[in-house]
Structures are given as structure tokens and as C-alpha cells.
């Protein structure tokens, strides 16, 4: 197939916005559109999305991106050959088979309402917090979808009744969108992919199927779960009513797995995506590496029905860019996210101020659901510039903590700990990237195209229909030509002191949660 007149669309459905990017046969973007959607905070620690608003945001982005590409002379209506999908992971919803409507808002991945359920299960199950690690690679945590599903069943009458009456469909956002894209009530497909399934706490990492013993222990009926497919295969065709009706959906990955593919991370290589949170993954090849340092074992990707499964170690940071949004929206210290770089650059250091953004607890490698945000080290000398810099440093410190744990866990995996590939919206902040290099003591590489999540989804879809080959995707030489490298300038003495102070600040955030949440 000639790639000259082939276009591939990528739906990138994130935590705070949705975008649709159209790529040509060389994986170059030729049209895109992005819209933000509403974040709901019904109680402290709760975060929700309206599933119907998410669907509408996809429709808007698709239509406008295609219009832009068409206006620029690209015949996308005729030559759009496949759609890839990538999504915010762990965000959970249940909808009705008979009406097609959500039975409750989607519970977002960072939502902390399941803390009590987690505590209960840790006491009831023999292995405590690590009870499911052997089969699913994940600890019991409010982070994962299964606990959110249990909360919905136990607390929402409409969900419980639908489950009892066999009228319920469970899914993460990928499942919900594929069901909508392929027809909804008129034949919509109920599927998920291995990467998203690996984040539910319900999929066995070895068999890549729902783990029967886990379902029994949690009391979750198998019939409400979607079918699990690979990341690069033709799942189904888009139904009538969409601008690209008839085009196959040929790729689907959770956002961090898509970014890993978009960054062409080979065995032993790590990437960090900076968005609402920060997510660091290291490719461990076909080996399932069990963490003893607070990380998660997960599927990286499976690029075809018969392809080998590639695994990864992951460390998830709940609050990264969201801390900047908090400064903007809740504190009013800045009027837009870009201002934080200029403000923080007004001082050469945070002058002993440390900010720990444990708004809803801390994820890897700490796993402290009882943690809450703290800002310490404040004096009369402290200004908003010092606080802004401390917020940026908090993002980089959290990523460093994950990387340190990752290289301890990697063991015999030949990890390249001398560089970190970065992507995501927050990487446009040059000061943040320099701070990251300084605190890790190693180079940070930012590609010319930082939207590697959408790029990874396009790669997967293109691979499924024969537009791309794996050799092309993983040949990073061409992709790194225009990359910017941030090199550390901080001395080891200063770095060591700052890391020690940060560690003290983290411990100050413990045991501050209202456990009645």
C-alpha cells in the first residue's frame, strides 16, 4: 500500500481534554483539533466526568480536524484508512444495554472515594494490599477500575439493579467510545484492549484474560466485562453518523502505553509523560518483572493478535500538571498555565520551600492514600515565585523517585538509566525540563512532536492495516533528529541536599486525610 495518499486518525481522549489528530503515511500530523471538557468535583477527593460530554467532545474534534485538513488540501474524506484510539486509563463507567445511557458519571482515575473499600479488602484478603499482585501485577488501590466498579455496584441503585438484571455493561473510556463509534445500541462492540484491561486489577498478566479467581473474590460478574483484544488489529468499523463512517478502528491503547509506542521505547528504555499526572514506563520486553520498590507491573503493548506481549514497569504520579492547574484555578496565582515558567524563573531556587501535591493521596512509589498536600519551608522571605518553582520541582521530584525505584527493580533488564524520553503538554515548560534533568542527574530528551500519545495510537492502527512496519516505528534515529536535550548543571552536593529535604517533606504529608471520605 502506498503511504503517500494514506491518512490515519488518532482519537486521544485525555483527563481534561479530547483531541483528534490526523497523520499522513509518514506519521506527520496534517490536521488536529482539541477541546476541554467539564471536571466535576462533587465532594472532596471525588472526580467525575460526564460520559456523554466526552462522546460529544470526540465528535467536535473529529469534525473540526477533518475540516482543517480538507481546507489545507488533504483529501481525508476519501483517504482516511484507519482510526487509532488512546484514552485516559482506569476511569470507570457502567451503562445500560437497553437504553445505551450511562447509569452514573464516569469515576476518574484519580478519584479517592474507594479508600474505605480498599481498606476493607486489605483486611479481608489473605495477601492484604498485595493480594492480587501475583496474578494482575497491581496492589489494591483506589487508582484501579475494579474498586471503582465495586463502589458503583454498592452505592448506586441504578448500577446494582442493572447488574442484577443483566442490563449492565462495564468499561473504561476506550470501551465506552468504541461501543459508541461502532453503533451503540445498534450493534456497538463491547471490547477493550490488553493495555487498558491490565489497569483494571481484573486481568491476568500471563493469560491476558479476565482472572476468574479475582472476579469471584470481588464478586464481579464476568458477563458485564468487555472482550479483550490486542493493541493493533481491526476491531470493527465506524458506524453511520460519524464523519469517518465505514473506516476501521484498527488500534487501541491506554494513553501511557500509546506514548511509549510513540516514543519508540525499546527494551530497557523509559519514558515519562507529563499531563494531569505523570506516568513513567520502562519497557521490560517479554519479561514480567515484579516490583519490590512500589511500582506496577503492566502490559506495555501487544502489537497484533499473534504478536508477543511486551511488558513494562510503571510508576504513576497522580498530580503533575494538575498542580499547575490548581495554582491557576483554585489559588489564582497565575492566569494561565504558561505563566508559571516565567514566574518560577524569577528566582534561582525555591529557597527551601517544598510542595507535595498529594491532593488525593500519593501513588508510586509511596502508595499513601492517607497523604494530603503540604507546602513547607515558608518564611517571610517566601514569594509566589518561590512557591511556583516549588510546584515545578514537585513534579520533577516525583518523577525522580519513580525512576530511582524503576532502576532498582529492573535488575537484569539492561536499562538505559542515562536518559529519559519525555512527552506531554507540560514538557513545553523548558524550566521544568531543566529541573528534571538537574534532579535526575541525567539528560532529558524531548522530541520535536510532543504529542506522542496520539502518535502511538496512529502507529498501532497503521501497523494493523500495513501502513507501518515495526522496524520503522522502533527506528528512533530519524525521530530524534529534531529532539531537544536538557543536560544537568546542578552539582551532586546540591542535588543530594534537595532530595533529602524533599523526602522529609513527603513524610510530612502522611496521615493527613479525612479517612471518612
> What per-residue confidence (pLDDT) applies to 208?
96
Per-residue pLDDT reduced to its tens digit, 55-76: 999 999 999 999 999 998 888 8
Above 90 in pLDDT, residue 102? yes
Residue 117's H or E segment, with its range, is helix 115-124
When the pLDDT of each residue in the chain is averaged and rounded to a whole number, the result is 92
Q: pLDDT (tens digit, 9 = 90+) per residue, 9-59?
A: 999 999 989 999 999 988 899 999 999 999 999 998 899 999 999 999 999
7-263+450-477 and 264-446+487-517: same fold?
yes
How does residue 418 score in pLDDT terms, banded at 50, 70 and 90? low
- C-alpha cell at position 12: 486521544
Whole-angstrom distance, CA of residue 26 vs CA of residue 29: 9
Cα 411 to Cα 335: distance, rounded to the nearest angstrom:
45
> What are the boundaries of each domain within the chain?
7-263+450-477, 264-446+487-517
Q: Model confidence at 480, in pLDDT bands (50, 70, 90)?
A: low
The β-bridge relationship of strands 92-96 and 444-446 is unpaired
- Residue-level pLDDT at 470: 86
**pLDDT of 344 strictly over 60:** yes
Q: Lowest-pLDDT range, 274-278, 358-362, 412-416?
A: 412-416
Q: Which letter does DSSP use for residue 329 in this model?
A: I
HEC assignment per residue over 122-148 = HHHCCCHHHCCHHHHCCCCCCCCHHHH
Helix, strand and coil content of the chain, in percent to the nearest 5, comes to 35, 20, 40
Burial of 380 (0-12, 13-18, 19+ CB in 10 A): exposed
User: In 318-468, which ranges are continuous DSSP H helix?
Assistant: 321-326, 339-344, 384-410, 430-440, 452-464
DSSP state of 359: B
Contact by Cβ (8 Å): 215, 202: yes
State the pLDDT confidence band at 516, using cuts at 50, 70 and 90. very low
Place of cell 498530580: 319
Give me the CATH code for the 7-263+450-477 domain, please.
3.30.420.40
Check whether 119 has a pLDDT greater than 70. Answer: yes
Q: Around 49, how many Cα atoms within 13 Å sit in the side-chain half-sphere?
A: 29
pLDDT at res. 127 = 86
CA-nearest of 278, 241, 238 to 256 is 278
pLDDT band at 2 (very low <50, low <70, confident <90, very high): very low
Q: 28: burial class by Cβ within 10 Å (0-12, 13-18, 19+)?
A: exposed
Instruction: List, in order, residues 6 or more apart from 164 with CB less than 8 Å away.
Output: none
CB 235 within 8 A of CB 192: no
pTM exceeds 0.85: yes
The number of beta carbons lying within 10 Å of the beta carbon of residue 371 is 25
- Does residue 517 have a pLDDT over 70? no
Which is nearest to 95 in space by CA: 53, 52, 46?
A: 52
Give residue-wise pLDDT tens across range 386-402: 999 999 999 999 999 99
162-176, 310-324, 330-344: range with highest mean pLDDT: 162-176
**Domain 264-446+487-517, second-level architecture:** 2-Layer Sandwich (3.30)
Amino acid at each position: 500500500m502506498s503511504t503517500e495518499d494514506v491518512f490515519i486518525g488518532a482519537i486521544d481522549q485525555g483527563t481534561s481534554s479530547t483531541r483528534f489528530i490526523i497523520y499522513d503515511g509518514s506519521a506527520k500530523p496534517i490536521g488536529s483539533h482539541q477541546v476541554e471538557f467539564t471536571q466535576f468535583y462533587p465532594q472532596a477527593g471525588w472526580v467525575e466526568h460526564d460520559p456523554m460530554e466526552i462522546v460529544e467532545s470526540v465528535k467536535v474534534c473529529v469534525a473540526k480536524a477533518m475540516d482543517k485538513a480538507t481546507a489545507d488540501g488533504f483529501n481525508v474524506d476519501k483517504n482516511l484508512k484507519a482510526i487509532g484510539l488512546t484514552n485516559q486509563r482506569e476511569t470507570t463507567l457502567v451503562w445500560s444495554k437497553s437504553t445505551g445511557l450511562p447509569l452514573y458519571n464516569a469515576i476518574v482515575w484519580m478519584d479517592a472515594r474507594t479508600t474505605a473499600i480498599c481498606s476493607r479488602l486489605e483486611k479481608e484478603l489473605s495477601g492484604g494490599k498485595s493480594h492480587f499482585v501475583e496474578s494482575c501485577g497491581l496492589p489494591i488501590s483506589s487508582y484501579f477500575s475494579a474498586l471503582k466498579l465495586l463502589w458503583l455496584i454498592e452505592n448506586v441503585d441504578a448500577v446494582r439493579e442493572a447488574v442484577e438484571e443483566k442490563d449492565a455493561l462495564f468499561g473504561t473510556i476506550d470501551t465506552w467510545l468504541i461501543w459508541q463509534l461502532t453503533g451503540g445500541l445498534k450493534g456497538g462492540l463491547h471490547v477493550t484492549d490488553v493495555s487498558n484491561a491490565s489497569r483494571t486489577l481484573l486481568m491476568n498478566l500471563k493469560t491476558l484474560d479476565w482472572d476468574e479467581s479475582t472476579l469471584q473474590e470481588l464478586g464481579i460478574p464476568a458477563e458485564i466485562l468487555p472482550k479483550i483484544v490486542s493493541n493493533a488489529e481491526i476491531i470493527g468499523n465506524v458506524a453511520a453518523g460519524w464523519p469517518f463512517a465505514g473506516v476501521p478502528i484498527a488500534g487501541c491503547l491506554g494513553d501511557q502505553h500509546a506514548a511509549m509506542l510513540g516514543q519508540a521505547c525499546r527494551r530497557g528504555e523509559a519514558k515519562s509523560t507529563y499531563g494531569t499526572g505523570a506516568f513513567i514506563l520502562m519497557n521490560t520486553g517479554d519479561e514480567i518483572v515484579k516490583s519490590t520498590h512500589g511500582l506496577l507491573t503492566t502490559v506495555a503493548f501487544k502489537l497484533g493478535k499473534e504478536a508477543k506481549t511486551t511488558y513494562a514497569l510503571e510508576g504513576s504520579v497522580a498530580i503533575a500538571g494538575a498542580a499547575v492547574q490548581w495554582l491557576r484555578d483554585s489559588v489564582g496565582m497565575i492566569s494561565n498555565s504558561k505563566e508559571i515558567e516565567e514566574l518560577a524563573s524569577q528566582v534561582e531556587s525555591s529557597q527551601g520551600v517544598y510542595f507535595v501535591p498529594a491532593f488525593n493521596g500519593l501513588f508510586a512509589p509511596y502508595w499513601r492514600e492517607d497523604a494530603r498536600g503540604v507546602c513547607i519551608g515558608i518564611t517571610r522571605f517566601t514569594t509566589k515565585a518561590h512557591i511556583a518553582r516549588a510546584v515545578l520541582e514537585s513534579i520533577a521530584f516525583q518523577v525522580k523517585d519513580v525512576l530511582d525505584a524503576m532502576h532498582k527493580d529492573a535488575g537484569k533488564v539492561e536499562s538505559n538509566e542515562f536518559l529519559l524520553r519525555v512527552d506531554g503538554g507540560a514538557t513545553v515548560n523548558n524550566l521544568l525540563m531543566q529541573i528534571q534533568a538537574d534532579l535526575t542527574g541525567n539528560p532529558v530528551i524531548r522530541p520535536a512532536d510532543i504529542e506522542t500519545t496520539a502518535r502511538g495510537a496512529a502507529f498501532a492502527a497503521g501497523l494493523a492495516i500495513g501502513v507501518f512496519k515495526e522496524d520503522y516505528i522502533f527506528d528512533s534515529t530519524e525521530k530524534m533528529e529534531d529532539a531537544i536535550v536538557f543536560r544537568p548543571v546542578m552539582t551532586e552536593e546540591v542535588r543530594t541536599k534537595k532530595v533529602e529535604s524533599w523526602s522529609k517533606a513527603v513524610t510530612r504529608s502522611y496521615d493527613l486525610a479525612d479517612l471518612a471520605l
